[in-house]
């Protein structure tokens, strides 16, 4: 089975993430959406909320699994036997940042990173922008899947 991890904090999942995952399931037998836990980071949504947003979004997609992990993504890949990391690229800055991480990961383990360009309709969306829209009482619903709702 060809599996890929799609790692991130998903605070919250955006339509850009959704696009990459939906396109990723056409390339892999299973996409493991891996929510990284970083105790030094302050999140808007709890780990449980972020996990539920993703699970609800992909409830009808059996090829998507949602897990949480701590530590290096490459170590988690080795731990669960996954050889591919899936990443989305929005712009040239993303490419340069992700390229450095991909090279480092390949130095640490036999893990390949597969990049997908985000669709033109979602290339401007970032979780940080969504959080800012939410903080300022804007209409965030155009930027996230329907499962993401602020209480």
Catalytic-residue membership of 50:
no
Nearest by Cα to 127 from 33, 16, 31: 16
Catalytic-residue membership of 103:
no
**Catalytic entry in 17, 50, 51, 87:** 17
Catalytic-residue membership of 23:
no
Contact between 98 and 91 under an 8 Å Cβ cutoff? The reply is no
For the chain, state the CA radius of gyration: 15
**Catalytic entry in 22, 90, 106, 131:** 90
Counting every residue written for the chain, the total comes to 151
Contact between 77 and 83 under an 8 Å Cβ cutoff? The reply is yes
**Catalytic entry in 50, 51, 87, 127:** 127
**Locus of tokens 């602020």:** 150
**Locus of tokens 């036997």:** 81
Catalytic-residue membership of 41:
yes
**Catalytic entry in 39, 41, 42, 151:** 41
Catalytic machinery residues = 17, 41, 90, 127
């Amino acid at each position: 089975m060809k599996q890929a991890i799609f790692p991130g904090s998903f605070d919250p999942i955006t339509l850009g993430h959704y696009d990459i995952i939906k396109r990723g399931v056409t390339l892999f037998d299973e996409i493991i959406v891996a929510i990284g836990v970083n105790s030094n980071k302050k999140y808007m949504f709890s780990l449980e909320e972020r996990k539920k947003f993703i699970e609800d979004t992909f409830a009808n997609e059996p090829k998507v699994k949602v897990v949480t992990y701590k530590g290096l993504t490459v170590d988690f890949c080795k731990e669960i036997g996954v050889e591919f990391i899936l990443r989305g690229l929005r712009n040239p800055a993303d490419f340069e940042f992700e390229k450095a991480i991909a090279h480092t990961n390949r130095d640490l383990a036999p893990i390949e990173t597969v990049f997908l360009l985000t669709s033109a309709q979602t290339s401007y969306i970032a979780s940080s922008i969504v959080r800012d829209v939410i903080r300022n009482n804007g209409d965030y619903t155009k930027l996230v899947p329907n499962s993401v709702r602020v209480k």
